[in-house]
Amino acid sequence: MDRLTLRTGTQVSYIGKHTRVPGLDSAGSMRVAGVRDVMDRLADYEDTGVSPEEINALKQAVGEALAPVTQTLVEVVPQIVQTVVELAPQIAQCASAALRRITPEMTPEQIMELLRENPQKN
C-alpha cells in the first residue's frame, strides 16, 4: 500500500504525490489535491467496514491458519520434485510410445484415453 501519511510520534504529515515538502505537510498546509487524495483513501478504507484492529486480527488469524499448510508444503514439495525427477525417463518413454500410436482421425477423447493407457499392454 502506498501511504499518504507519515506518523512521527503524535504528528501526522501528508506524504502523498501532492505534497509541498515531504514529511512537513500537515493538515493545515496541504494542497487541495492532497486533501482530495486523503479523503478518497479514507472513504475507500471506511467503505470496507473493517477497523484497523480487525484487519490486524484477520492478518494474524490467516497467518496462523496457513502456518501448518506452509510447513506441509515445505516438507512435501521437495519429495514431489524428487519423485518427478526419478520418474521422468519412464514418463518420457510412455509418452513417446503413446504419441507414436496417435493418428489424425482420432478424437481428443480417444487421444486422452490412449495417453492414459499403459504402453506396455500394446
Helix, strand, coil % in the chain, rounded to nearest 5: 65, 5, 30
Q: Measured in whole angstroms, how far is the alpha carbon of residue 21 from the centre of its chain?
A: 35
Q: Measured in whole angstroms, how far is the alpha carbon of residue 122 from the centre of its chain?
A: 44
pLDDT, tens only, 6-20? 777 777 777 777 766
pLDDT, tens only, 26-75? 666 667 887 778 878 888 888 888 988 999 999 999 999 999 999 999 99
Q: Give the model's pLDDT for residue 83.
A: 92
Q: Measured in Å, how far apart are the chain's first and last C-alpha atoms?
A: 59
Every domain of the chain and the residues it spans: 5-49, 68-122
